[in-house]
Amino acid sequence: MTTVGNAPEGSRLGAVVPGTDLSQHARLLSRVHDAVLSGQEPPAQPRTVVARSWSRVAAGGLTPDHCGASTVADFSELEARRSRTALRSVLPELRTTLTEVAEDAGFIVVVADADGVLLWREGAKTVKRAADALGFAEGARWSEQSVGTNAIGTALIEDSAVQLFSAEHYAPTHHNWSCTGSPVHDPRTGEILGVVDISGSAASVHPTTVALVRTAVRLAEATLWREHAASL
């Protein structure tokens, strides 16, 4: 059986390739999602990273219809997380490389910590309003265990950049979205500090977004290394 997508499995990190008919692809993914998660034979196999995540989430006891709501940290906890994360020092770098174009490009930029808690969120106002309705707001926990397969929680577990499109998300409430997340590492220890994520409508997905996010993360990690070197 073939794997969902227009390129051989393992040859790409992105959810789509140039020339993908997004509407047709979304319909196929919806059929795959419903079949796999109901134990039926799907018309194609999900991408490996998606299949692994769906298996983890299902094994944790979450069902697609009961995993869309995230838990939200109160203001004091959110501020405490913001104050202790090393990611706060790379916000100017991320704003320069990502946030300044987010409004025009129709997406939002999210920085989450190693627990998947959203610390900062900036970008297009219309997308932020849609994200609010989804519970995708500062203080919300977007781990796989909380909301199912998503680019933040899945990137944390996979320790790799992850792009998801439409019904590759576990929760049906997330199927109108695309998201691309990449983990940020402490350059001294290799520890995951958190995730940088770009999210928008499913129609806004683009193959180059993975490279954009990974470049921003590399620049952020370089900034962290320079700060460490200067402190020695």
Q: Report if residue 13 sits inside a domain.
A: no
Q: Report if residue 12 sits inside a domain.
A: no
Helix (H, G, I), strand (E, B) or coil at 19: coil
The Cβ of residue 26 has, within 10 Å, a number of other Cβ atoms equal to 21
Rounded Cα distance between 68 and 179, Å, is 15
The pLDDT tens digits of the residues spanning 24-44 come to 999 999 999 999 999 999 999
Which CATH number covers residue 43?
3.30.450.40
**Residue 2: both structure tokens together:** 């073939």
The pLDDT confidence band at residue 12, using thresholds 50, 70 and 90, is low
Q: Report if residue 34 sits inside a domain.
A: yes
pLDDT of 7 > 80? The answer is no
For residues 66 and 182, the model is more confident at 182
- Contacts of residue 71, defined as CB under 8 A and 6 or more positions apart, other chains included, come to 140, 141, 146
Q: Report if residue 4 sits inside a domain.
A: no
pLDDT of 8 > 80? The answer is no
The pLDDT tens digits of the residues spanning 42-83 come to 999 999 999 999 999 999 999 998 886 678 999 999 999 999
pLDDT of 90 > 90? The answer is yes
Q: Report if residue 31 sits inside a domain.
A: yes
What pLDDT score does 70 carry?
Answer: 78
- Domain hosting 203: range is 22-231
Q: Report if residue 10 sits inside a domain.
A: no
**Residue 170: both structure tokens together:** 């576990």
Number of alpha carbons in the 13 Å side-chain half-sphere of residue 95: 9
Q: Domain count of the chain?
A: 1
Q: Report if residue 148 sits inside a domain.
A: yes
Alpha helices, H only, the chain:
22-37, 48-59, 75-84, 91-94, 100-105, 125-134, 144-147, 151-158, 209-231
pLDDT of 6 > 70? The answer is no
> What's the pTM?
0.93
Q: Which residues of 37-61 are buried (b: 16+ CB within 10 A; e: fewer)?
A: beeeebebbbbebbbebbebbbeee
pLDDT of 231 > 80? The answer is no
